Amino acid sequence: MQSVITAPRPTPSPDDLLVLLAVARAGRYTAAASELGLNHTTVARRIESLEAALGGRVLARGASGWVLTALGEHALAAAEGIERAMRTLDPSSATLSGTVRLSATDGFSGFIAAPALVAVRRAHPDVTLEIVAATRRAAQQRVGVDLEVVVGRPHVHRAEATHLADYVLGTYASRDYLERHGAPASPAELAEHPLVYFIESMLQVDALDDARGAIPDMLDSVSSTNVYVHVDATRAGAGIGLLPAFLADRHDDLVRLFPSQVEARLPYWLVSRPEALRQPVVLAFIAAMRQRIDDVRPALLGRR
């Protein structure tokens, strides 16, 4: 019987593995190509070359971008090893560089994430932060982001979820509004005033929806998906706002109503892709966020 000689598969190219690493972090060929200084076609060709060498698919299309297959996750570990080895050859390897991609609520993005990035950049000026400001549930596929911060405990798969901090919502009105319309004498009288809060029909976060239970049945005046609009509308006299204390207490023209009686305490949770937690730049950013939270915890809880 004549034996059949099977040609050995080519050895995976380190360059192809690094391209996979970029696609896994960015979630899209175009974004990875921009980061690597390549074009979209070259990235696609490198991924095809890697799949030929490994004998299977390393990426699959997800709802909003490319996600790793089981084989891709195995290859990613090798790619991260190459990246670490390359850092040891770089005399400036003690300095971190790269982009951290974060999805978080508007308030958290401005009050916690942005100052945390500034702290990281003092030591590592080549680190950048991309923020997608969104108030939503945690995604089941974190395509294009390394970290998510959501309100309420998330239910996720193939991800790490940790509690970061709690914050307080309270009822606020501008001094001018109270002079014009009178101050409610009790929490029950809040129902006689218009509410500034999220658009109820568009609110996807149960914890924020449940927070309405802290106030009586109030008719909406100004509604928005952006918490900074809530603050500005309340300051302008649109009604009584259900606002994060850490944003509202910064404004002397806002008065908190019934602080010991009307409030909602909500949790911030951090959701991370496992591969993101192996990136030193991401870990440095998480540490900076935790330090920022420790520094401002009284403000988060409405204790000036």
Span 4-61, pLDDT tens digits: 555 566 788 888 888 888 888 788 888 888 878 888 888 899 889 888 888 899 888 8
239 conformational bin, left if phi > 0, alpha if psi -120 to 50, beta if neither? left
pLDDT for residue 9: 66
Question: Could you state, in order of their start, the residue ranges of all structural domains in the chain?
Answer: 14-88, 95-304
How far apart are alpha carbons 243 and 262 in whole angstroms? Answer: 11
Q: Are 203 and 301 in contact (CB under 8 A)?
A: no
pLDDT for residue 19: 86
Candidate from 10-14, 105-109, 224-228 with smallest mean pLDDT? 10-14
| Strand-pair category, 160-174 with 240-244 | antiparallel
Q: Are 150 and 142 in contact (CB under 8 A)?
A: no
How far apart are alpha carbons 149 and 127 in whole angstroms? Answer: 19
Q: How far is CA 302 from CA 171, 248, 249, 250, 295, in A?
A: 11, 9, 7, 10, 14
Read off the pLDDT of each residue in 286-295 and give the average, rounded to a whole number: 95
Token match 């790793």: residue?
68
Q: What is the DSSP letter of 63?
A: S
Token match 């790619």: residue?
79
CA atoms within 13 A of residue 211's CA, in its CB half-sphere:
27
pLDDT for residue 93: 54
pLDDT for residue 206: 82
Question: Does CATH number 3.30.360.10 belong to domain 95-304?
Answer: no
Helices (H) and strands (E) in the chain, counts: 11, 11
Global pTM reads 0.74
Higher pLDDT, 83 or 179: 179
Asked whether residue 188 carries a pLDDT value surpassing 60, the answer given is: yes
Residues in the chain: 304
Q: Check if 14-88 and 95-304 are the same fold.
A: no
Read off the pLDDT of each residue in 140-156 and give the average, rounded to a whole number: 78
Q: Are 242 and 212 in contact (CB under 8 A)?
A: yes
How far apart are alpha carbons 31 and 37 in whole angstroms? Answer: 10
Q: How far is CA 176 from CA 4, 34, 222, 250, 262, in A?
A: 89, 50, 17, 17, 21
Report residue 240's pLDDT band, with 50, 70 and 90 as the boundaries: very high
Read off the pLDDT of each residue in 268-288 and give the average, rounded to a whole number: 88
* Amino acid letter for position 249: D
Q: Are 259 and 135 in contact (CB under 8 A)?
A: no
How far apart are alpha carbons 52 and 74 in whole angstroms? Answer: 15
Q: Can you name the CATH fold of 14-88? A: Arc Repressor Mutant, subunit A (1.10.10)
Asked whether residue 91 carries a pLDDT value surpassing 70, the answer given is: no
Cα-trace Rg, the chain: 24
Q: Which two tokens stand for residue 259?
A: 């602080």
Report residue 145's pLDDT band, with 50, 70 and 90 as the boundaries: confident
